[in-house]
Structure 1
Amino acid sequence: MTPPRPRRVDPGRRDRIVDACLDVIAASGVAGTSHRTVAAAADVPLGSMTYHFTGMDELLREAFTRFAAAQSEGLEDAMAAASDRDEARDAVVALVTGTAGRRDLVLTHELYTLAAREPAFRDLTNAWMARSRRALERHFDPETTRMLDALVEGLAIHRALDTDPAQAADAAEAVRRITSG
């Protein structure tokens, strides 16, 4: 009789799967994401997928929740670091024109598309918008915040799709106009 194989201990496996799911979505879209592609990207056995997640919806929800939380934390940190309204304006412009890479832009749009098609995912986008608005309300009134939040989303879309991306000066002027009420 052969002795039983030792059980592999991998306490970070679930997190690795979630991170790999975001990588797969960024590369192939939600439509190209499957248990098999995520398992391969995470370098885990396919059976780990059903062990850790009840289905693809749970995995997508977990992945997009993690992504939205990270994006919200960036805005919250930027608004907390701003000592006045002018610094808050500059922080918003920096976020819109700054370091967000193609991956984050693609993930944002994949989440929006999923939420537009699947109402069950709208709670994620609504929570993300609410958290963003709370961060912006540290420096701007609620009406201005709603307009500013919409501007940020619109500028992000333009940045993702425009072959001639808007210059920082254009974003700064748009933020100034909205916040100078």
Structure 2
Amino acid sequence: MATGHTDPRRRERIIAATLDLIAEEGVAGVSHRKIATRAGVPLGSMTYHFSGIEQLLRDAFGRFADHIVAVFDAHLAAPTDRDQACEAVTDLVHVLSEGSQRDLVLSQELYTLAARQPVYRAITHEWMRRSRVHLEKHFDPDTARQLDALIEGLTLHRALSREPHDRALTREAITRITTTAGHTEPA
């Protein structure tokens, strides 16, 4: 492995370690020292690659948002009609809610920061915009916005429920939103 500042993967390892620590200990539990230890890098690498903990957190949450948007893309790229798109959205809710506890925790940590700090709100705004771009391949903008909120809510409810609702209820909710009068197919 390369040493010093020539290690091309060092920055990526620092970001990954930051996200892992946030998932385990929350934003309040991260520090340069803990991140450097987790990433297996010298403490000095932290200030070489990032101007401070705030830049590191912003970059890490930006990377996390990219990951979630990629999950949206993976599910919404293939459908060729509205019914397939509704099935893909149903799959997406269930994959997100049954998947990584890490992703769920990171989402909530980011939302908490975004509720208090505009710089993180910008990250969530961009994440939502990009998610809706994938939804708008199949649904008009208003429906895409409603589905985006439904995905977030159903995912959270399923992930935290002692008795998560089944796929039929998810599909019914999606059907109700996508068949409301006045909604038209995207251009």
Q: Name the residue aligned to 1:89.
A: 86
Residue 160 (structure 1) shift: 2.9
Q: Which amino acid aligns with 1:87?
A: Q
Shift of 1:169: 1.5
Gaps of 5+ in 1: 1-5
Instruction: Write the deviation string for residues 126-163 of structure 1: whole angstroms up to 9, x where unpaired.
Output: 00001111110111111111111110111122123222
Task: Give 2:130's aligned amino acid.
Answer: R
Aligned partners of 2:75 and 2:91 also within 8 Å: no
Q: Give % identity.
A: 55
1: CA distance, partners of 2:31 / 2:148: 32
Q: Report the Cα offset of residue 77 of structure 1.
A: 2.8
- Matches of 1:106 and 1:92 in 2, distance apart? 21
Any residues of structure 2 matched to 1:18-167 within 5 Å, and which? 18-98=15-95, 100-167=99-166
Query: Counterparts of 2:166 and 2:30 in 1: how far apart (Å)?
Result: 34
TM-score (ref. length: structure 1): 0.92
Instruction: Provide TM-score, normalisation by structure 2.
Output: 0.89
Cross-structure match for 2:184: none
Q: What is the CA distance between 1:108 and its match in structure 2?
A: 0.7
Equivalent-residue separation in structure 2 for 1:140 and 1:13 (angstroms):
41
The structure with the larger Rg is 1
Number of aligned residue pairs: 176
Q: Tell me how far apart the structure 1 counterparts of residues 177 and 37 of structure 2 sit (CA, whole Å).
A: 46
The CA deviation at 1:23 is 0.5
Q: Deviations over 1:49-75 (max 9, x none)?
A: 111111111001111111101111221
Kindly state the Cα deviation for residue 7 of structure 1 after the two structures are TM-superposed.
5.6
Spell out structure 1 runs of 4+ moving beyond 6 A.
Answer: none
Residue in structure 2 matched with residue 3 of structure 1 by the alignment: none
